[in-house]
A = this chain, B = another copy of it.
Amino acid sequence: MTGVGLIGTGFMGKCHAIAWNSVRTVFGDVAPVRLVHLGEANAELATRRADEFGFEKGSGDWRAVIADPEVEVVSLATPNQFHPEMAIAALEAGKHLWCEKPMAPSFAEAEAMLAAARKSGKVAVLGYNYIQSPAIRQIRTLLSENTIGAVNHLRIEMDEDFMADADTAFGWKHAATSGYGALDDFAVHPLSLVQTLFGRVSRVMCDMAKPYAERRVEGGGSRAVETYDIASALMHLENGVSGTLLVNRSAWGRKGRIAVQIFGSKGSILFDQERFNEFQLYVTSDRPTEQGYRTILAAPVHSPYDRFVPAPGHGLGFNDLKIIECHELIARIGGRPANIIEFDEGLEIERTVHAMARSFEEGRWVAVR
């Protein structure tokens, strides 16, 4: 029996709740999950969400969740800025931690979170769910099997359009207090894929841009935008591979694009998160007249797709990736090998993001470490 606490019930908090509700039914091989305690901004909302999400009780104070002796694992799905305090408190209270990404607004805070995790001896995992899709896992297998030979170049893009409307009023994401902009908001996701598939980034050279110099303020007037919706980076990985990482949160028409292009000496692989139930493979071992990108649909042969549906091509959804992540977390807590990004590797993602920002500010290549 795993006792679960959840703090935060917005986009990702609900996603965690769905995962905790389904993980045992889907996978079958884990202990029963007990939904113990839910924390929200106030008692009324906490109680309502606890009821909806199937938690035994709700509290308007997140400290009550952490203090609850029945809670063994804390799902932390509050905004970024609250992560350091809550995460460190949970770890100090001896709870395992499942924390949404990114870790923290500042690198120093992220370092403190890692230190707390190390000191606690507890499992501290980040919610980088895109590494969980069967397609990405199969791509990793193909890379390890040398199917496309030695990889020599990599391109990765992440684009959405939730900031693209010029008429949207100035909000907290436009203020420098929220961070750099697309870089920390977004680039951490493609970096989680880069790190999972290829290892760490060593050097970066980044440019950033603002599509809209200012935005109207609710009530009248306008205010200069302080964050950058677009970031474009050249990068070198520790393994010697070069590549580019391009992100844009004002890209009209893009909804959840994470486009990956991997080039090797014997083939190449393409992937796009907007169609994450498929990926494309080109190999030179095919006969020349029949060489072409294969569009491979996710199927039971691509673990753990089979736990969800026994028929190929039927498709997983975004929330299913969180269920897989939850299953990996449980495995990790149980001492089994897990495909998951813990605080130590998560800190490297943040280190890379901050190096990119510094590179932009200084207009030069920057070493990540």
Contact = CB atoms under 8 A, between A and B. Distances in A.
Contact of A265 (B155, B211, B244, B319): B211
Interface in A245-302: 246, 248, 250-257, 261, 263-268, 270, 274-278, 280-282, 284, 286, 288-297, 299, 301-302
B209 A255 contact: no
Interface in A211-270: 211-212, 230, 232, 234, 242-244, 246, 248, 250-257, 261, 263-268, 270
Contacts of A274: 297, 313, 315
A290 B294 contact: yes
A268 B290 contact: no
A318 interface: yes
A311 B263 contact: no
Nearest to A279: B292
A198 interface: no
B252 A263 contact: yes
Contacts of A28: 52
A167 to B, nearest CB: 9
A69 to B, nearest CB: 24
Contacts of A365: 363
Given A246-B244, A309-B319, A317-B320, A153 B209 contact: yes
B317 A288 contact: no
Interface residues of A, number: 99
A3 to B, nearest CB: 16
Given A212-B265, A265-B166, A256 B312 contact: yes
Nearest to A275: B275
Interface in A1-52: 11, 14-15, 17-18, 21-22, 24-26, 28, 32, 51-52
A107 interface: no
Contact of A255 (B22, B147, B252, B297): B297
Nearest to A141: B289
A159 B302 CA distance: 21
A364 interface: yes
A320 B364 CA distance: 44
Nearest to A316: B317
Nearest to A266: B252
